[in-house]
Structures are given as structure tokens and as C-alpha cells.
Amino acid sequence: MSNVLILGGDGYLGWPTAMNLSMQGYDVTVADNYTKRDACVKLDVAALYPVPTLVERAKLWYELTGKEIKVAIGNLQDPEMMRGFFNGRVTYAWAINKNFSGIPETVIHYAEQASQPYSMLNYTYANQTLQNNLLVTNNLMFAMRDYSRDTHMVKLGTMGEYGAPNIDIEEGWLDVEHNGRKQKFLYPRQGGSVYQVSKVMDTDLLWLGVRMWGLKVTDLMQGAVYGIETEESKIDSRLNTMFTYDEVFGTIINRFITQAVAGHPLTVYGSGGQMRGMLNIQDTLQCVSASVNTPAKNGELRIFNQIMEKFSISELAEMTKKVGDSLGYNVEITKIPNPRKEAENHYFNPKYQKLLDLGVKPHYLTDEVMSRMFKIVNQYKNNIRDDILFKGIIKW
């Protein structure tokens, strides 16, 4: 079996990815240090339902499927923790077979602070974002350089790296002609938060590693993800991923649906004309799997724009209202002064063909898909904390 290491395996995307690849037959190891859980406690926000620890989830997965997901708990900002996954010195918090799995053929890098608002709360949170995101990426890059230049890194970037340019957004690269000469460059990026700028720096770091040492990297510029269920989580609800709905960690559709179920107006920032690339959580799994199964070449930084469709914030709010009203929720929409510094009406034409060419079959945002999410969230309606649906703590 191919050996896959997932960094950030406790997160919204990390745990579903671990189950998905394990079910496909990969030998999966996950690493995390519960940074996201700790941040939720510190900011007094909560998930929609209790989520077992990573060790508890791995044990449950083994009991239900007979498949092992090894777990390591520790801070990947420590270079020796990272290097342990390549030199055999890793200590597992849980595993059936405690023996070293071997140098990973693929590393999926989710281990970053992934919230724009969190990174902009104040300088402390900005520093934490930069320190975590850049050190973890740098540690991984040097571990690959020193131990295994044939390991394929699949890293999660963000469409937010591009900002809102007034030209088409290509998939990572742009052909430039200047004074009669031509060259391909990384597409110009202008992130609008410390988090997004940290991802720009990640990309630059990895482009250095690719050029200097022939590393092989796939950088996935992901849009906003929505959803709860995956095929694997349907086995048992205790396998559900961590679903947050507050203004710091909740993604836009997840937030809107939870607000609607709780009877809270949908909070649209500013005019609502901001455009977003969207994808279902099941498509994240497809995109990552396709990237793992068709790796980049040595000396290649391959960039895919990982979205399946695009909407304005107002369009998403109106869709939520339409479906919510049909289910009897009497949804209201309120536009509030935008706490973010961002363009509220802008050109947005990203290319996103390469993952489709690899065989990804999109799950589109339909009324039926949104209705199913309403029904799942409603099961946990009594858990929703009204005080964290919108605190108004964000200000760029």
C-alpha cells in the first residue's frame, strides 16, 4: 500500500481525507496538535456537535472498518517532530502496528491556521498565523529535501492568494511578454488578510524548493468549502467532521444554514457582491485523491484552482433563504457594514479546468444539496449557541 501522511488530520478537511484514502487502501498516518480546538476554546466558539479526539476517531474507524489510521500528536513547528516522519523517529499516539510505516510517498499538508478573520483579530493572532503556517511548510520542505526528494507534497492553498484582479485568473501561472521577451511567472498575488499572505509565502517557499532541489509539489488553490457528510462519515455520525458556524471559523454556506436553522438573520457583509469560488467537501476529497493518484514530477510546482462553481455572497444568501423558506424556516437576510476591507463588486473569472481533466466529477450546489444540509444541522439545533452566531468581533 502507498504510504500517505496527512498533516492537520484533525481538521475540517483532514479527517475526511484520512478516511477517504484509508478506504481506498492507502496506509494513512495523521498528525495534529489540536490547535484549532484550542483556538475555539480561547475565542469561546464551538462546533455544532461534539467531535471525538483524533485518537478516539481512529479507534472507532478501526472498529467499524478494520482499517488502521495511525495517529501522531505533536507540534509540527518543531522540525524534529516533522523529520520523525521521514527518519523513523516518530512516536504514535495510537496505532495497531507501532512499527514505522516508512518514508511517506505522499504528504498532504493541511496543517495551517486556515481562518482569514482569526489572522486579522490583532497582532498576536497574526503572529501565530505566520509562525505556524510558514514554519510548518518550511520544516516539511527541508525534511523532503534531506530525506526524500521523491515524496510528493499535496498542499492546500487558497483562491484568496489571487485577490480580486481585473483580469482572468489562470491556474497558478501567467505568460508575460515584456519588451519583446517572454517568460512564465507565478500569477501575481495580492492576498487580503495575513492568512492569505501567509499562503502566498508558502507558495513562494515551495517554488524555491522545487527550483533548488527538484521537489515535487501540487498546490491546490481552494475556494470556500461547504458540507458535512462524506461517504465515509455516513458509516457512523461519530465520524462526522468538525463543523463550525461562527464568524471566525465557519465557512459561508455552513454559517448561513446554521443561522437560518437558529432563526438568526443571515449576515451579509456590505453589498454582498463579493464573488467566491465554491466546492462541496466531497469534491475536496476527489481533488486531493486525483492529485495523489497522479503526482507532480520532480522539479514541478503544479498549481490547480480547486473550485467547482462561483457565486456572489448575495446569491448564496438568496439560495439559503429560498431553501430555508421551503422547509418552513422563514429566513431573513440582513446586510451589515462590511467589517473586512475588500472589494464588494469586482471582476472574477478564474480558470478551473485541470482537476476536471483528471476526472473530478463536481457535486453542484443545488436546492437538494442545501436541503440535506438544513436537515442535518436541524438534528443538532439544540446545540447551536445563539451568542456565537455573530459576535461582531471582526474588523480589518
Residues noted as catalytic: 158, 195, 199
Number of Cβ within a 10 Å radius of residue 115? 23
Q: Give the DSSP letter string of 230-242.
A: -TTGGG-GGGPPP
421551503: which residue's cell?
A: 326
Taken in order 142, 143, 146, 149, the sign of the CA dihedral is: negative
First-residue to last-residue Cα distance in the chain: 47
CB 113 within 8 A of CB 35: yes
> Which three-class secondary structure state does DSSP give residue 167?
coil
CB 67 within 8 A of CB 61: yes
Distances (CA, A) of 287 to 37, 151, 153, 154, 379: 26, 18, 14, 10, 29
Virtual torsion, Cα 198, 123, 241, 266, nearest 10 deg: -110
Please give the Cα distance from 18 to 96 (Å, whole number).
16
Q: Give the DSSP letter string of 276-297.
A: EEEEEHHHHHHHHHHHHHSPPP
Strands, sheet with 300-306, edge to edge from the N-terminal-most edge strand = 69-73, 27-32, 3-7, 106-109, 152-158, 216-222, 300-306
